Amino acid sequence: MALSKRDFLVALPAAALAGWCLARPAVSAEGKAGEVSRLSGPVSIIRGGAESPATVGAEVLVSDSIRAGADARAEVTFSDGSVLTIGPSSEVAVAFFAPEAQESSALLDVIAGIARLTVNKATSWGRFDVRTTTAVASVRGTDYLVENTGAKTAVFVAEGRVAVSSRVGSGTVILREGQGVDVTAEKAPLTAKTWGPKRRDEALARVTFP
């Protein structure tokens, strides 16, 4: 069962929440992060507890969640040119997005399902994190996907490098192009593995528009 946004945040370790609150710059939490640039199937934007149908061109604000239904996909183009693609039966929250701040930073929460990030290499990101209940993926400029099934998180890198850290203290692993890792809630070593064509292609197909 997919977590609600509230349940997702409750499930996160207190240290993870506190670390981000202390690290992020003092920027309005209500600003525009980007806009919906592409849609396929039923997609909604959740803002202030209210859910409404998404449309191409609709603003996506910091603190919004984007939810894609079964067989649906959504693409969000952020103000710096970075692109988020949300796969079927998935929800992603824009927790923070400040590319022009002195300490530029962004934080996205994959509450459920799968999402792909193509981070603009031209933006001098101090910190760009994608978070789930079991892992956090940190990058500056790359192309990768994150899937949260609840029981585990899978991260795969299509281009560039990504640092993936466990939420339960199992360490950090650096993924390179073609590599992935599965992160569970158990305290076990993280191992980078090259994904075979079947797993790679099936995952990428879910975050690619037909």
Categorize the per-residue pLDDT at 66 as very low, low, confident or very high, splitting at 50, 70 and 90: very high
- Domain membership of residue 198 as a residue range: 5-206
Angle at 96 between CA 46 and CA 108, to 5 degrees: 70
Across the range 2-21, mean pLDDT stands at: 50
User: pTM of the entire structure?
Assistant: 0.86
Confidence check: pLDDT of 88 > 50: yes
- Return the structure tokens found at 145: 């996907």
Write the CATH number for 64.
2.60.120.1440
Categorize the per-residue pLDDT at 125 as very low, low, confident or very high, splitting at 50, 70 and 90: confident
Categorize the per-residue pLDDT at 14 as very low, low, confident or very high, splitting at 50, 70 and 90: very low
pLDDT for res 7? 58
More confident residue, 204 or 26: 204
Please write the tens of the pLDDT for every residue from 159-188: 999 999 999 888 999 999 999 999 999 988
- Return the structure tokens found at 177: 């192009």
Categorize the per-residue pLDDT at 82 as very low, low, confident or very high, splitting at 50, 70 and 90: very high
Across the range 91-105, mean pLDDT stands at: 89
> Comparing 14-28, 102-116, 187-201, which segment has the lowest mean pLDDT?
14-28
- Report, in this order, helix, strand and coil percent for the chain, each rounded to 5: 15, 50, 40
**Distance, CA of 111 to CA of 116 (rounded, Å):** 13
CB 142 within 8 A of CB 163: no
Q: Cite the beta strand spans of the chain per DSSP E.
A: 32-40, 43-47, 50-53, 59-61, 65-68, 73-78, 83-86, 90-98, 105-118, 127-131, 135-139, 143-148, 152-159, 161-166, 172-176, 179-184, 193-194
Categorize the per-residue pLDDT at 121 as very low, low, confident or very high, splitting at 50, 70 and 90: confident
Nearest to 108 by CA among 146, 156, 149: 146
pLDDT for res 21? 44
More confident residue, 12 or 51: 51
- 48 dihedral zone (left: phi>0; alpha: psi -120 to 50; beta): left
Nearest to 46 by CA among 18, 20, 65: 65
**Distance, CA of 172 to CA of 118 (rounded, Å):** 21
- Return the structure tokens found at 159: 């281009």
Confidence check: pLDDT of 103 > 90: no
CB 124 within 8 A of CB 106: no
pLDDT for res 37? 98
Please write the tens of the pLDDT for every residue from 16-33: 444 444 344 444 445 899
Domain total for the chain?
1
CB 90 within 8 A of CB 108: no
Nearest to 56 by CA among 36, 81, 78: 36
Angle at 43 between CA 136 and CA 165, to 5 degrees: 5
**Distance, CA of 123 to CA of 142 (rounded, Å):** 11
Confidence check: pLDDT of 106 > 90: yes
